[in-house]
Amino acid sequence: MSRFFSDKYMDLTPYTPGEQPREQKNIVKLNTNENPYPPLPEVAKAAAEASGRLYLYSDTECTELRKALAKRLDVSTDELLMTNGSDEILNFAFMAFCDKHIPAVFADITYGFYPVFAAINQVPYEEIPLKEDLTIDVADYFQRAGTIFIANPNAPTAIALRAREIEEVLKHNPYNVVVVDEAYVDFGAESCVPLIRKYDNLLVTQTFSKSRSMAGARLGMGIGNPDLIRDLNTVKFSTNPYNVNSLTSAAGVASLKHDEYNRENCLKIMETRERYERILRGMGFEMTESQTNFFFARHPAISGKDLYLELKKRGVLIRHFDIERIKDYNRITIGTPEQMDRLLKETEAILEERK
């Protein structure tokens, strides 16, 4: 730390992203929940075409993109705001809807960025423990004094709530904003987007990173009542009006033009999930019921950390969290069947050695 770093950040522990090895050859990367299928060539082509206009600032309104997305989600353009990944819309929500009198409320085991957003915005927060089986009891979120953040499906547990359960949280919190982080919703869970007209306190966040294979482009969005979106725009225009660059915007439009391809990839990943869940359970793994593109699994014969380290030695990256309550588990992204076969092969060898 330099001697110039502001006191207000003294206690800040930044978010730790998963490893991104530079050399990808022979590495099976199942640690950051990326989509294993690259976007269509049309997406890169659209970005390349947009590069001819790089000397101009990007469109602050993401006009074309919002139009296409509004159609896709069956909402209107003033119910949508585009951001630099969904991390940015989440940070905007902490900035816009929390302060020292309005704490953030979220689960004890959830997306690790929430406490970091709270800290950097100097917002107090309350963590609500998941139940013993790592599910959320929605009644724990009724009548809270603060802005509620629920990742649905939750990460890293992979477990989803039904939309009607989240609706109960909305009904019981008419004076609080409820943010539903749907980063993984396209892998089989129910979206709360159809509820935005009914509940003016609902903000849904989604991303192009997972189901649309565009993690590197950084494209996310907020979907909600036009008044909420206006507040978030005030924050955006007070930080970075050009938050979505023109290459990403063009890529996003192209991706939506071919959204059927993205949908098919999600279905492929869901099929892979069903197949490998059976195999992993057969090998003795215990896991939650995943409605995402990852597993949350533990094995009685090896600690979470050891499995992570042993697999890493063998070129397979998965994610381990050094958090007491979930230290036995690992989060394993669902890759291609070939990648999953390699995971199985290396895991079998590791388990065999321990017999």
The sheet carrying 125-128 orders its strands as 80-83, 220-224, 202-207, 178-181, 147-151, 104-107, 125-128
Binder among 36, 39, 85, 252 for ligand PMP (CB under 6 A): 85
What is the distance between the alpha carbons of residues 118 and 96, in angstroms, rounded to a whole number?
12
Q: Is 291 in the site for ligand PMP (CB under 6 A)?
A: no
Q: Give 202 or 302: the residue with its C-beta nearer to ligand PMP.
A: 202
| Chain centroid, CA 266 distance in Å | 15
Q: Is 34 in the site for ligand PMP (CB under 6 A)?
A: no
Determine the residue with CB nearest ligand PMP. 85
What is the distance between the alpha carbons of residues 267 and 333, in angstroms, rounded to a whole number?
15
Report the nearest approach of ligand PMP to the CB of residue 111 (Å): 4
Q: Side chain identity at 65, as an amino acid letter?
A: L
Per-residue CA distances from 69 to 77, 85, 252 (Å): 8, 15, 9
Binder among 58, 86, 291, 347 for ligand PMP (CB under 6 A): 86
Q: Is 186 in the site for ligand PMP (CB under 6 A)?
A: no
Q: Which span sits near ligand PMP by CB under 6 A: 70-78, 84-92, 129-137, 301-309?
A: 84-92
What is the distance between the alpha carbons of residues 203 and 95, in angstroms, rounded to a whole number?
14
Q: Is 293 in the site for ligand PMP (CB under 6 A)?
A: no
Considering only residues 208 to 237 of the shown chain, the ones binding ligand PMP according to CB under 6 A are 209, 215, 220
The 10 Å Cβ neighbour count of residue 112 is 14
Q: Is 252 in the site for ligand PMP (CB under 6 A)?
A: no
Report the nearest approach of ligand PMP to the CB of residue 153 (Å): 8
Per CB under 6 A, residues contacting ligand PMP are 85-87, 111, 151, 155, 181, 183, 207, 209, 215, 220
